[in-house]
A and B are shown apart, each in its own frame.
Chain A
């Protein structure tokens, strides 16, 4: 007679209820997005009839309408958002990476500099938006992509510096010391040794800055009028126009949200680390 092998492992408690409860919570949290997605796929007839109606099945007509032109400048808004976000990421990298190295490794500005910059993020953005508006207007940077890139770089700089400084701080300094002994100056150390090691942190910063620049509404609404309008402001144009085309509006929000979302989803693990490291949005 053979006995089954004796295991000391305790029986795993049944945890499916947790998945079900959290699944329901996730659904509630994402209800606005799910609702917009469903609305964007319904026919105008079904949307007008009732929120539960699916007359005419699913259709992509709203997406072809907003992306195909026909009086909307949605593609222009998308292009503006992309330029503003990418421009902010590029500008922030140029400013924050060398500065972080100087702050953390070369002791520039002590802990004071970073604290002052961090406090900028806590001052209401409206406080800066007004002088920006007045200055940009007199310099001709009002309603330009460059103006919004500068504003978004400004607003995201504290987060970027915090994450990059934090990541740099975690890197063992011994590698750089070794390279210094081998005769590398600080610039050589930064570019050949520190930058490759810093890459994961920089990915996190890049994604966060991209997503938050894409999300900006306050600076966009104050600093743009027609030429540099991004999707956050442009989408709202669809609301105020006489007789709202709900299906098209839903499609507009879905496309505007899906782009940064898929971007963020793609690099999730960097993102969560960056968010919890920076602990500030």
Chain B
């Protein structure tokens, strides 16, 4: 398929997945902000800006880190390229450019999402309720994936969409898990205490993994188990392991037996997730481990770009 088509499909999926996960990150921050801690409510929001980069930009354009400003900036700001608004706009632009290569249902879903997104302003979202807004974003993303799965030919175009979804999701899960590192426990609280417990529970809920945790572990919420669930469990659909299992098999199908570098990189990370142990992760330090993962995942993204989505310049040299 046309390289630029593949590129637009790949980014369409990444943009929608990122919009969903940005809503999830906002949700976890809002939950944490409801906890009675000695930490100022406002400071609970800082991690969002750290992990969804835009810290400097935010502080230049907004005077204070309030509930309201956070929603305005991270959800609704057209000038913030990482806002939910911009991500949905970009996904819809990718779709518009490639309408001929996706199903009409997939296009209509994204177009309708974008039309509705444009009708939101802060007052509307506040009236609606923030949680309802986050749910809406998640639902539109679920719908998009469902429509893609149920209506598109399962060919290379579909594979590039899947690739975009799972590369992005792996990145986002790692970042959400890292929120806990950034939200430090207040000095007055002890690790394993109730504040710690609620923080991990909020995190689990934000990725829809609370029930799964209960089913699997039948036990109270321990940090290493949350980390194990979201990093190493293959059957957990947002875990790093699960994402990489799909990334690897998709790359196998796309590379058609060619020994591409992106396949090797994906295979290497996949092997670490397959055979890794959570004790080793914590020995390295959870934050350090996640930081390394995010970097490797980013490198894989660049390699995919180079191996399949060749820009005209690269291509001109290649032929």
Q: Are A and B interaction partners?
A: no
